[in-house]
């Protein structure tokens, strides 16, 4: 049982929902990432998705893409990211999962990646460009290491395939709210609630919804059908817009924003 | 006409679809290479595309329609031309050119875009997106879309827009929208990223007309099949006109579609050597070339596992080539497979060698070749020089060079 499984067990017993901020590692630097995750954890964020910057992210919209470019331009390396997470993890009780291209994991070596990430206190990985057919090798390593491999299901996934993906997933299912890329949206598709309700009947796994979620009203509308919600671009955008403002001010602003969303799930 | 020895342009168009091949397997693997590393959102569309393509392959009416277009719209078969003055100047083997530059739109790219546009019609989609580097694939896609009345959007890096202006104008004349891409290196690789992002949102109504033998399954096999009309014609033309197969075939490799297209029908002819030529750029130092098969290693980029220029963290490295169409850090998975099993070899030609070959071909034969194709010409000259006069070196002259005139003038400081 991974720390993610224990988290959702506890949340379900308390009838609470997870709120998972997405933070790009190394944007604008790893110091900031460490402080941001620390402060949001204290504020009550339930779990973190840590974005591993990648040069060619095809599932990401302009906001997250630009954050990856900023981090890579400053020379962030995977080993440095894992070292930072390794310092953070013991200080917070909140599980951390990475979100990163299989290009990165493949180059590092899947077994080495899982071993190093686990040693750093990371509980699982989301690999957005590794569909279930290609995931056998990584999935076997993750099972052996009790490291969650969170798979994605989208509105374009046919029902049979969704069930197959659910069978291969550990930790939770990442349900992608829209047919599209990451990024804030004013409105989410009306069919979303029904799609998640259907999926819930197919699997006992927790279901978290991501892509497009940015507003308290989104959280309010989706919290009843999901086990958790993921917020990315809205946080990354606030980092991008920080400019030369004092870091403390930017951290407080993001903390306040996440606090508003947390109020909707608790 | 097989065996009749008639002139090449009377050669019948050899059936479009290939003979059976052991690769790829049903999951798009060429040995270890290929596969499908893409977001879940795109999986269903790729499954549908693979099914529709397989059905089209079995449908004689699809083949007949494509063959008719190849003949009367593209002008196929493209000639096999004996470059006598060039061969004499080189003083070695006889150099023959497969004249894909004479196709409608000026390159081999139209062979693929017409096939994919026909498939788009079968799938009932009305919008097509594409990436382009040199603009040849963009023009060929815009052309196929105009022919079928499909909406067309082409993503092109800002750096490529600068160096390939004539093609940008042509695409707009053909009714396509050209969307400049300002992210990353502002070249082909970033244009592919943007096209994929568009597809992530539009996949239910839009076909992504990928221009090379790369990307997720089924693109590498499908594009290879459409392009293999080049090799099938060339093979038959060699037998008809020369009474034998060539000793060596040379083609440039960016993503690898013209090379894949001419190599594939010769794969079982073990006596025919196959040589792909990558962009050697300014030097062999990282960042100065675009030659992953020579200097890279297997990794993941743009949906498949293949040789790639990648750092120790899996980040794609910057690359350089004088030619926008080869300025790409990856390569199609089947080329990685052919390299691995030793069926084809891969060399590089430097920017300077390419410019020299470009001049030599223009002055000895009156043919202005694309800078991409000039990579193949450069290595063919080297290879022919060290072979006896009774050997045959066949070059895939994949495109014409009008589009490069302004860039070459700029490089030479000539007022254009």
Q: Residue A266 — pLDDT band, cuts 50, 70, 90?
A: confident
Task: Collect contacts of B5-10 with beta carbons under 8 A, ≥24 apart.
Answer: B5/B240, B5/B241, B5/B243, B6/B240, B7/B241, B8/B77, B8/B79, B8/B80, B8/B237, B8/B240, B8/B241, B9/B77, B9/B79
Going residue by residue through chain B (416 aa), what tens digit of pLDDT does each one get? 333 333 344 444 555 555 568 899 999 999 999 999 999 999 999 999 999 999 999 999 999 999 999 999 999 999 999 999 999 999 999 999 999 999 999 999 999 999 999 999 999 999 999 999 999 999 999 999 999 999 999 999 999 999 889 999 999 999 999 999 998 889 999 999 999 999 999 999 999 999 999 999 999 999 999 999 999 999 999 999 999 999 999 999 999 999 999 999 999 999 999 999 999 999 999 999 999 999 999 999 999 999 999 999 999 999 999 999 999 999 999 999 999 999 999 999 999 999 999 999 999 999 999 999 999 999 999 999 999 999 999 999 999 999 999 889 999 999 87
Q: What is the pLDDT of residue B6?
A: 37
3-state helix, strand, coil in chain A (%, to 5): 50, 15, 35
Q: Per the CB < 8 Å rule, is A107 touching B35?
A: no
Look at residue A32 and tell me whether its pLDDT is greater than 50: yes
If residue A42 lies in a helix (H) or strand (E), which one and from where to where? helix A30-43
Contacts of B301 in chain A (CB under 8 A): 56, 103
Question: What's A157's DSSP letter?
Answer: S
Q: What is the pLDDT averaged over residues A247-265?
A: 97
Say what the pTM is.
Answer: 0.96
As for how many domains chain A has, the answer is: 1
- Write out pLDDT tens, residues B75-133: 999 999 999 999 999 999 999 999 999 999 999 999 999 999 999 999 999 999 999 99
Closest residue to A58, CB basis, from B43, B193, B314: B193
* Closest residue in chain B to residue A131, using alpha carbons only: B40
Q: What is the pLDDT of residue B10?
A: 40
Domain of A216? 3-262
Q: Per the CB < 8 Å rule, is A58 touching B39?
A: yes
Residues 6 or more apart whose Cβ sits within 8 Å of residue A34 = A84, A87, A88
A60 is known as an active-site residue: yes
Minimal CA separation from A108 to chain B, in Å: 6
Looking only at the bridges linking them, the beta strands covering A96-99 and A122-126 are parallel
**A152 contact B CB<8A:** yes
Walk across the sheet containing B151-157 and list its strands: B177-181, B151-157, B127-132, B206-208
Walk across the sheet containing A173-176 and list its strands: A148-150, A122-126, A96-99, A48-51, A18-24, A228-231, A207-210, A173-176, A152-153
Q: What is the pLDDT of residue B8?
A: 41
CB B196 within 8 A of CB B208: yes
Q: What is the pLDDT of residue B19?
A: 54
ipTM, two decimals, is 0.97
CB B304 within 8 A of CB B292: no
Chain B, residues 172-191, CB within 8 A of chain A, namely: 183-184, 189
Look at residue A173 and tell me whether its pLDDT is greater than 90: yes
Q: Per the CB < 8 Å rule, is A56 touching B189?
A: yes
Q: What is the pLDDT averaged over residues A125-139?
A: 98
- Write out pLDDT tens, residues A209-234: 999 999 999 999 999 999 999 999 99
Q: What is the pLDDT of residue B16?
A: 53
CB B119 within 8 A of CB B49: yes
Q: What is the pLDDT averaged over residues A67-84?
A: 97
Q: What is the pLDDT of residue A243?
A: 85
Residue B260 to residue B220: CA distance in whole angstroms: 9
- In CATH, what number is assigned to the domain containing residue A232? 3.20.20.70
CB B130 within 8 A of CB B141: yes
* Closest residue in chain B to residue A128, using alpha carbons only: B39
Interaxial angle between packed helices B43-58 and B109-123, expressed in degrees from 0 to 180 and rounded to the nearest 10: 100
Catalytic pick among A5, A49, A116, A264: A49
Q: Per the CB < 8 Å rule, is B313 touching A104?
A: yes
Q: What is the pLDDT of residue A228?
A: 98
**B200 contact A CB<8A:** yes
- Nearest in space to B258 (alpha carbons), one of B320, B335, B154: B335
């Amino acid at each position: 049982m991974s720390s993610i499984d224990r988290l959702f067990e506890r949340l379900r017993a308390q009838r609470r929902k997870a709120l998972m901020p997405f933070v790009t590692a190394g944007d604008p630097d790893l110091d900031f990432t460490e402080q941001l995750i620390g402060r949001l954890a204290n504020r009550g964020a339930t779990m973190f998705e840590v974005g591993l910057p990648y040069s060619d992210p095809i599932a990401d919209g302009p906001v997250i893409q630009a954050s990856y470019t900023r981090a890579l331009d400053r020379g962030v390396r995977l080993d440095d990211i894992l070292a930072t997470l390794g310092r953070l993890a013991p200080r917070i009780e909140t599980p951390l999962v990475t979100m990163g291209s299989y290009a990165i994991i493949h180059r590092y070596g899947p077994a080495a990646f899982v071993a190093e990430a686990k040693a750093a206190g990371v509980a699982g990985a989301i690999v957005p460009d590794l569909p279930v057919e290609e995931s056998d090798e990584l999935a076997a390593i993750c099972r052996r290491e009790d490291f969650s491999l969170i798979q994605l299901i989208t509105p374009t996934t046919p029902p049979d395939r969704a069930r197959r993906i659910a069978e291969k997933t550990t930790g939770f299912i990442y349900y992608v709210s829209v047919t599209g890329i990451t990024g804030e949206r004013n409105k989410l598709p009306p069919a979303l609630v029904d799609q998640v309700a259907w999926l819930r009947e197919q699997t006992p796994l927790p279901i978290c919804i991501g892509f497009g979620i940015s507003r308290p009203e989104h959280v309010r509308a989706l919290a009843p059908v999901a086990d958790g919600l993921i917020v990315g671009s809205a946080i990354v955008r606030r980092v991008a817009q920080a400019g030369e403002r004092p870091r403390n001010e930017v951290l407080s602003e993001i903390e306040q924003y996440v606090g508003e969303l947390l109020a909707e799930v608790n | 006409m097989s065996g009749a020895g008639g002139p090449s342009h009377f050669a019948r168009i050899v059936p479009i679809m290939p003979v059976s091949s052991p690769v790829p397997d049903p999951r798009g693997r060429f040995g270890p290479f290929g596969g499908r590393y893409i977001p879940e959102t795109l999986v269903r569309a790729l499954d549908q595309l693979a099914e529709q393509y397989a059905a089209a392959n079995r449908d004689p009416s699809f083949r007949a329609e494509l063959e008719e277009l190849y003949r009367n719209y593209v002008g196929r078969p493209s000639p096999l031309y004996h470059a006598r003055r060039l061969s004499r100047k080189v003083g070695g083997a006889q150099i023959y050119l497969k004249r894909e530059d004479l196709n409608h739109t000026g390159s081999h790219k139209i062979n693929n875009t017409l096939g994919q546009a026909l498939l788009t019609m079968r799938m009932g989609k009305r919008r097509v997106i594409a990436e382009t580097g040199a603009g040849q694939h963009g023009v060929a896609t815009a052309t196929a879309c105009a022919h079928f009345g499909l909406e067309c959007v082409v993503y092109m890096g800002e750096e490529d827009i600068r160096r390939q202006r004539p093609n940008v104008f042509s695409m707009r004349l053909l009714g396509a929208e050209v969307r400049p891409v300002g992210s990353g290196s502002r070249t082909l690789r970033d244009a592919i990223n943007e096209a994929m992002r568009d597809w992530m949102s539009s996949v239910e109504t839009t076909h992504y007309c990928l221009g090379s033998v790369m990307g997720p399954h089924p693109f590498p096999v499908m594009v290879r099949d459409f392009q293999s009309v080049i090799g099938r014609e060339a093979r038959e033309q060699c037998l008809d006109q020369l009474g034998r197969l060539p000793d060596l075939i040379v083609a440039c490799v960016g993503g690898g579609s013209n090379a894949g297209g001419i190599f594939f029908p010769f794969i079982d002819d073990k006596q025919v050597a196959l040589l792909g030529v990558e962009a050697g750029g300014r030097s062999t130092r990282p960042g100065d070339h675009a030659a992953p098969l020579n200097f890279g290693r297997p990794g993941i980029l743009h949906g498949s596992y293949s040789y790639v220029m990648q750092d120790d963290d899996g980040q794609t490295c910057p690359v350089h080539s004088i030619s926008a169409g080869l300025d790409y850090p990856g390569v199609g998975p089947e080329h990685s497979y052919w390299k691995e099993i030793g069926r084809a070899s891969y060399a590089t030609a430097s920017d300077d060698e390419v410019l020299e070959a470009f001049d030599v071909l223009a002055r000895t034969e009156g043919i202005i070749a694309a800078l991409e194709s000039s990579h193949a010409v450069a290595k063919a000259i080297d290879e022919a020089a060290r072979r006896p006069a009774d050997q045959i070196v066949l070059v895939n002259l994949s495109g014409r060079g009008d589009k490069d005139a302004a860039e070459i003038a700029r490089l030479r400081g000539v007022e254009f």
